[in-house]
């Protein structure tokens, strides 16, 4: 489900004459190594942070102290941009690199200036945040499902709706277990049962949905 937003590609041209950005734009660039923590849940979000290269994972500490994986983000993508203008402008998740990464940092005042002189940038910013709202709505639906098999079914049906009944999931079982907030053996057992029941086929990271109705029946 990690769509790359093409509108953020222009930031790669930020030092070029054809970038479309003002020459006096204030920004910083930070380089992070693999497995480095970029932001901790609760850190202040006072700038627009755009992942320019690499990939990161976002995780949230739940009320019972468990670490729940939220998503994997690949460049180019902003990191929690909606929270920049929130009254409680704190990062809702931990953000950790999965590989070496580069982050472009634009102060809030500069973001407001960009919006005032570049309507296209403002529209892209608003559209991205609206799309993220849809993602979070789907995530809440997933969390509301009581059984692990139901959560897996919801996730697989989402993938099938977007990519067809054969698709690739770029997460290993440990990462998937974090995404569902369960132990890896529990996830492996549920997937194995679904394979034995003839609902899905798994070949490494390739998944094939054989019975959509059976998946929908699990959404309880």
- Residue-wise pLDDT for 146-201, tens only, equals 889 998 998 899 899 889 999 999 888 888 888 887 889 999 999 999 999 999 99
- pLDDT attached to residue 6: 45
Tell me the CATH class for 148-217: mainly alpha
Judged against a pLDDT cut of 70, whether residue 54 lies above it is answered with yes
State the pTM of this model. Answer: 0.65
- Do the domains 148-217 and 6-144 match in fold? no
**Mean pLDDT across 77-99:** 92
Contacts of 220 by beta carbon, 8 Å cutoff, 6+ apart:
145, 146, 147, 150
CATH topology of domain 6-144: Jelly Rolls (2.60.120)
Which pLDDT does position 166 carry in this prediction?
94
Helix 119-144 vs helix 108-117: angle between axes, to the nearest 10 degrees?
Answer: 120
Could you tell me the two tokens for 45? 């979000």
Give bridge partners of residue 105 from the DSSP assignment: 28, 49
- Please choose, from the candidates 1, 14, 211, the residue with its C-alpha nearest in 3D space to the C-alpha of residue 103: 14
Residue 33 has pLDDT above 90, yes or no: yes
pLDDT at 129: 84
Q: Where are the domains of the chain?
A: 6-144, 148-217
pLDDT of residue 10: 64
């Amino acid at each position: 489900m990690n769509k790359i937003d093409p509108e953020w590609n222009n930031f790669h041209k930020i030092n070029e004459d054809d970038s479309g950005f003002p020459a006096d734009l204030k920004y910083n660039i930070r380089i992070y190594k693999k497995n480095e923590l970029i932001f901790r849940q609760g850190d202040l979000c006072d700038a627009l942070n755009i992942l320019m290269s690499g990939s990161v994972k976002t995780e949230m500490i739940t009320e019972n102290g468990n670490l729940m994986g939220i998503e994997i983000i690949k460049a180019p993508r902003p990191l929690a941009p909606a929270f920049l203008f929130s009254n409680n402008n704190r990062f809702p998740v931990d953000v950790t690199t999965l590989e070496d990464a580069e982050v472009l940092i634009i102060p809030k005042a500069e973001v407001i200036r960009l919006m005032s002189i570049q309507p296209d940038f403002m529209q892209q910013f608003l559209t991205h945040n609206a799309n993220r709202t849809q993602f979070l709505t789907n995530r809440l639906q997933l969390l509301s499902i009581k059984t692990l098999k139901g959560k897996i079914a919801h996730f697989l049906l989402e993938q099938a709706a977007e990519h067809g009944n054969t698709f690739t999931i770029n997460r290993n079982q440990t990462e998937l277990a974090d995404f569902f907030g369960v132990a890896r053996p529990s996830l492996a057992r549920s997937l194995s049962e679904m394979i034995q029941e003839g609902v899905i086929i798994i070949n490494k990271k390739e998944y094939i949905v054989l019975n959509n109705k059976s998946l929908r029946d699990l959404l309880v």
